[in-house]
Structure 1
Amino acid sequence: MAVTSRRAGRRRSMSQINVVPFIDVMLVLLIIFMVTAPLLQQGVEVDLPEADAQPLQDEKSQREAIVVTVTRDGQLSLNQGPQVGVSLDRDVLREIVADLLSQHPGTQVYVRGDRFVDYGRVVDAMVSVQSAGAQRVGLITDPPDLSARDR
């Protein structure tokens, strides 16, 4: 018994932090973010053509620009207005763009056309936007993938 009492007198409290609950919480948060991140992306999937065009310098105009998207199957949609990302016909598209341009004159207007869509569909979208009152219409492309070109 003397040995036990000596050991009881020498005991120290542990001054280490138990990190196992912290790791558990971090793993749960990681799983939650991995599941919800793909759900946060919205918009219309378009495979843009690649071009060596220079990027626009005015980032403010790009954020507030009206973008008409032409999908692979020829459907038209807008990034602003009452029907964002919804398939629109040419007349409704023209009306919405005309309304947006009347509220904010001078707004930049761009057309994003899928690389596999018929070129006539992209031109139709540009004509619709111009008939709505847009003075200048730009085309959006992706920069070329230089690593794929070097292979």
Structure 2
Amino acid sequence: MPAVASRGSHRRRAVSEINMVPFIDVMLVLLIIFMVSAPLITTGLVELPSVGKAAQKPDKVIEVIIGTDERVRLRVDGGDATATSMAQLGTKVKQLQGGNPQVPVVISADKNVKYDLVVKAMGILQTNQIARVGLAVKQSN
């Protein structure tokens, strides 16, 4: 009888190991799926604008000049620049356009000017319904 009693007291231990084989199989299948599908995914192409020479120069150009001292000046057709404030920029440009919305406005800013000032000037021009606004750039050879 003592042999029977020792057999009943023997318990099974819980296995505390993680079986890694199914995990590795799933990871390999996912790796193969991604390797096969990656070349089939088309990437979005972005066409950046290029700076070129205009075919013809417009008759009248209004230039908004923003200097490093953060002062705003207006110049028409390369003439003398007149000082103005950022608050009056929209109304002054409208006056210089003379009711013709096709007169282009070019913003010329020093490269050391804060980006915020250029964006603010563009925003003011946009709220005053000035459609043709561009940025002056220096052409590199």
Q: How does 1:67-86 map to 2 (within 5 A)?
A: 67-80=63-76, 84-86=80-82
Match of 2:120 in 1: 124
Deviation at 1:78, TM superposition (A): 0.6
Gaps of 5+ in 1: 1-51, 147-151
Q: Deviations over 1:25-62 (max 9, x none)?
A: xxxxxxxxxxxxxxxxxxxxxxxxxxx61122221x1x
Distance in 2, Cα, partners of 1:105 & 1:94: 13
Distance in 2, Cα, partners of 1:92 & 1:101: 14
Residues 1:57 and 2:39 are matched in the alignment: no
Q: Residue 112 of structure 2 aligns to a residue in which SS? A: coil
Match of 1:105 in 2: 101
Runs of 4+ in 1 over 3 A off after TM superposition: none
Contact 1:68 1:78 in 2 (8 A): yes
Residues 1:66 and 2:62 are matched in the alignment: yes
> Size of the alignment, in residue pairs?
90
Find 2:134's aligned residue among 134, 138, 145.
138
Identity of aligned pairs, percent? 24
C-alpha change, 1:120 and 1:90, in structure 2 (3 Å) is: same
Q: Deviations over 1:67-120 (max 9, x none)?
A: 10111121111113xxx5233112222111122234323111110010000011
Normalising by structure 1, report the TM-score. 0.53
Contact 1:101 1:134 in 2 (8 A): no
Distance in 2, Cα, partners of 1:100 & 1:86: 12
Q: How does 1:33-52 map to 2 (within 5 A)?
A: none
Residues 1:114 and 2:110 are matched in the alignment: yes
Q: Residue 84 of structure 2 aligns to a residue in which SS? A: coil
Larger Rg: 2
Residues 1:91 and 2:87 are matched in the alignment: yes
Normalising by structure 2, report the TM-score. 0.56
Aligned-pair Cα RMSD in Å: 2.1
Deviation at 1:66, TM superposition (A): 1.0
Distance in 1, Cα, partners of 2:115 & 2:54: 23
